[in-house]
């Protein structure tokens, strides 16, 4: 792999010279390294699409799999389909960060379509960090699509973060939940300059006693624009909560559009949304501790997006 | 020595919140400011901490005019202020707030020492966010602990007793007394007799002016005879 990939992997996937578990490193659309383990097999996509199939054996305990993707130069439009098949009762952590880098005028773009088929009683933690780097004028774009199907008694905890430097992102997440399954999503986004970010969540609560908790926190600075759309559909006895919490600065724009559809008398759905600048009192409090106004703002944002 | 000279604060509509207030607070003193609601106590405390810029007068510390110092500069000069209405933060834990206040990382002993003084069990709280999940009493104690963590020369507490249960309140009074031994200057806005009793000096404010001030032994008896009786039925004779 090249040096840029190595650096990006450190940021988005905690790479320190090796990965502890199964992995596939995608670099500019090619493969810069792959390793399967006894319980986690990484194979080419069976439909011949660019991308992979990741098969986690039933009953796998506390293993990790790394599927990062890096675009390290301009004029690369990377598209990948990664399908994750998680066996019944498995407990696994998936790290799938993405970094896009350009030092020239060419655009660096990554489109990652990840599908999760999560078996009965399986528990998945999914970490996804995104960043754009490089000194070039070319745009850095990351458009992730996540589609998850959760079987009975399973869970998916998704932690998705955009660290900065991405000119535009369109993030689509869809999930379908069977009985007693749980979906937890924590999204954190930072945009600045003329960047744009769209987040679109759609969760179908199909099984009795299923539950979803979707929380997005974002900071919009400069002239950046963000939109948050969430849709929770309760088709069974279920609980759903979605929240959009945004800090606004400069001339940035944030829109939030929640939708709750309850098609079952026993569906309990909640949405919260709050958009506003940093509370003046918060800055004052930190200044009484000796921080400057700028230090206080940075500390508040750092904590908010933690 | 902290000296407030002829300080006034007038709102744009002409309402005078502070009227020509002058007072000297000696090093190592524990001074309690008391008086009826709306009398200007919190405003005066905020003027000292730099949260409010007065429309007239000046603030001096150790012979230096600090009137033009902003909040940050005054904090760095050694003035700490505990808010009457504590501020909540999403994503800032109790531990992080304590460490920001102390200006250094704190080990468990240090955290236990601080939070114990305000009656909080450290293990239960250090990783909790200072957000809406804390009750009014809990966040008030965290706020007080953040001021104690700074340990600066001048510590200002605005109604520290509000929302504190009796057990924790006793611990808090002990903490204030211990700081008094360490030669910190403390300014406490309070209506609590227990706190008035540990004061060196008492300042009574009403209608934006200092109505009465002096050593506790002189002021407290007068206060109990007149001020309290004037605003509270306790101590008043019930008409026959």
Chain B positions in Cβ-Cβ contact with residue A292 (cut-off 8 Å) = 72
Q: Check residue B175 and give its pLDDT.
A: 85
Number of neighbouring beta carbons within 10 Å of residue B191:
18
Hey, where are the domains in chain B? 2-83+151-231
Can you give the pTM of this predicted structure? 0.84
Q: Check residue B227 and give its pLDDT.
A: 52
Look at residues A187, A123, A178, A112 and name the one whose alpha carbon lies nearest to residue A146: A112
Q: Phi first, then psi: give them for residue A299, nearest 5 degrees.
A: -65, -40
Measured between CB atoms, does A245 come within 8 Å of chain B? yes
Q: Check residue A279 and give its pLDDT.
A: 92
What would the pLDDT profile of B174-227 be if each residue is shown by its tens digit?
Answer: 888 888 866 789 999 999 989 999 999 999 999 999 999 999 999 998 887 765
- Given a contact cutoff of 8 angstroms between Cβ atoms, the answer to whether A106 and A139 are in contact is no
Mean residue pLDDT of chain A comes to 95
Say whether pLDDT at A174 is over 50.
yes
- Given a contact cutoff of 8 angstroms between Cβ atoms, the answer to whether A170 and A143 are in contact is yes
Measured between CB atoms, does B73 come within 8 Å of chain A? no
Cα–Cα dist B157/B144, whole Å: 7
Q: Which residue from B minimizes the CA distance to A294?
A: B72
Q: Taking CB atoms and an 8 Å limit, are A290 and B146 in contact across chains?
A: no
Look at residues A219, A209, A157 and name the one whose alpha carbon lies nearest to residue A188: A219
CA B218 to chain centre: 22
Q: Check residue B169 and give its pLDDT.
A: 84
**Quick one: average pLDDT of A170-198?**
96
Number of neighbouring beta carbons within 10 Å of residue B165:
10
Determine the angle formed by the axes of helices B108-117 and B166-181, rounding to 10 degrees: 110
Q: Check residue B235 and give its pLDDT.
A: 45
Say whether pLDDT at A169 is over 50.
yes
Q: Taking CB atoms and an 8 Å limit, are A287 and B72 in contact across chains?
A: yes
**Quick one: average pLDDT of A252-259?**
95
Q: Check residue B240 and give its pLDDT.
A: 44
Look at residues A183, A218, A179 and name the one whose alpha carbon lies nearest to residue A199: A218
Q: Check residue B180 and give its pLDDT.
A: 81
A167: helix, strand or coil: coil
ipTM of the complex: 0.90
Check residue B129 and report its DSSP letter.
B
What would the pLDDT profile of A35-56 be if each residue is shown by its tens digit?
Answer: 999 999 999 998 888 999 999 9
Residue-wise over A273-301: b if at least 16 C-beta within 10 A, else e?
bebeebeeebbbbbbbbbbbeebbbebbb
- Block means of pLDDT (10 residues each) for chain B, length 240 residues? 95 94 93 94 96 96 95 97 94 95 94 89 88 89 94 94 81 85 86 92 95 93 66 46
Q: Check residue B226 and give its pLDDT.
A: 64
- Residue in B72, B76, B89 closest to A300 by CB: B89
Cα–Cα dist A66/A22, whole Å: 6
Hey, where are the domains in chain A? 3-279
**Quick one: average pLDDT of A174-203?**
96
CATH fold, domain B2-83+151-231, is: Rossmann fold (3.40.50)
Q: What is the residue whose two structure tokens read 């679109």?
A: A200
What would the pLDDT profile of A240-249 be if each residue is shown by its tens digit?
Answer: 999 999 999 9
- Residue in A282, A290, A293 closest to B103 by CB: A290
**Quick one: average pLDDT of A164-188?**
96
The lowest-confidence range among A123-137, A200-214, B174-188, B197-211 is B174-188
- Given a contact cutoff of 8 angstroms between Cβ atoms, the answer to whether A61 and A30 are in contact is no
Look at residues B210, B215, B179 and name the one whose alpha carbon lies nearest to residue B196: B215
Cα–Cα dist B92/A263, whole Å: 38
- Given a contact cutoff of 8 angstroms between Cβ atoms, the answer to whether A77 and A28 are in contact is no
């Amino acid at each position: 792999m090249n040096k840029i990939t190595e650096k990006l992997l450190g940021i988005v996937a905690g790479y320190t010279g090796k990965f502890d578990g199964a992995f596939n490193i995608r670099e500019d659309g090619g493969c810069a390294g792959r390793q399967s383990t006894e319980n986690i097999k990484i194979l080419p996509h069976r439909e011949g699409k660019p991308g992979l199939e990741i098969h986690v054996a039933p009953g796998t305990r506390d293993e990790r799999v790394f599927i990062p993707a890096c675009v390290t130069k301009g004029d690369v439009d990377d598209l990948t389909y990664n399908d994750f098949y998680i066996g019944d009762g498995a407990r696994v952590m998936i790290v799938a960060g993405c970094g896009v880098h350009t030092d020239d005028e060419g655009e660096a773009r990554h489109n990652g379509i990840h599908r999760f088929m999560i078996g009965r009683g399986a528990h998945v933690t999914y970490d996804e960090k995104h960043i754009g780097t490089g000194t070039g004028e070319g745009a850095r774009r990351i458009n992730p699509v996540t589609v998850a199907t959760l079987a009975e008694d399973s869970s998916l905890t998704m932690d998705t973060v955009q660290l900065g430097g991405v000119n535009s992102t369109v993030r689509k997440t869809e999930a379908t939940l069977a009985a007693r399954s749980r979906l937890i999503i924590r999204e954190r986004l930072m945009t600045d300059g003329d960047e744009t970010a769209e987040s679109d969540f759609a969760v179908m609560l199909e099984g009795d006693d299923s539950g979803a908790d979707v929380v997005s926190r974002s900071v919009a600075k400069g002239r950046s624009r963000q939109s948050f759309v969430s849709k929770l559909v309760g088709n069974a006895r279920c609980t759903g909560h979605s929240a959009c919490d945004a800090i606004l600065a400069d001339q940035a724009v944030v829109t939030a559009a929640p939708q709750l559809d309850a098609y079952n008398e026993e569906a309990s759905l909640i949405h919260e949304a709050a958009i506003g600048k940093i509370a003046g009192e918060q800055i004052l409090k930190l200044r009484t501790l000796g921080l400057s106004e700028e230090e206080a703002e940075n500390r508040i944002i750092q904590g908010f997006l933690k | 020595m902290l000296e407030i000279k002829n300080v006034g604060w007038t709102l744009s509509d002409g309402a005078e919140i502070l009227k020509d207030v002058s007072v000297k607070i000696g090093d190592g003193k524990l001074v309690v400011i008391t008086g009826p609601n709306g009398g200007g106590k919190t405003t005066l405390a905020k003027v000292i901490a730099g949260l409010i810029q007065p429309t007239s007068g000046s603030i001096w510390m150790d012979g230096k005019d600090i009137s033009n110092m902003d909040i940050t500069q005054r904090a760095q000069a050694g003035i700490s202020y505990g808010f009457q209405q504590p501020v909540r933060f999403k994503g800032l834990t109790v531990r992080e707030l304590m460490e920001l206040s102390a200006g250094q990382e704190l080990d468990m002993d240090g955290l236990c020492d601080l939070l114990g003084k305000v009656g909080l069990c450290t293990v239960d709280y250090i990783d909790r966010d200072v957000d809406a999940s804390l009750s009014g009493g809990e966040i008030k104690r965290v706020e007080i602990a953040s001021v104690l963590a700074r340990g600066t020369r001048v510590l200002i507490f605005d109604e520290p007793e509000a929302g504190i249960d009796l057990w924790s309140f006793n611990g808090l009074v002990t903490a204030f007394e211990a700081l008094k031994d360490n030669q910190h200057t403390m300014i406490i806005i309070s209506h609590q007799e227990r706190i008035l009793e540990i004061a060196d000096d008492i300042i009574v404010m009403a209608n934006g002016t200092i109505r009465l001030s002096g050593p506790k032994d002189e002021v407290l008896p007068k206060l109990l005879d007149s001020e309290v009786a004037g605003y509270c039925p306790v101590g008043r004779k019930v008409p026959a």
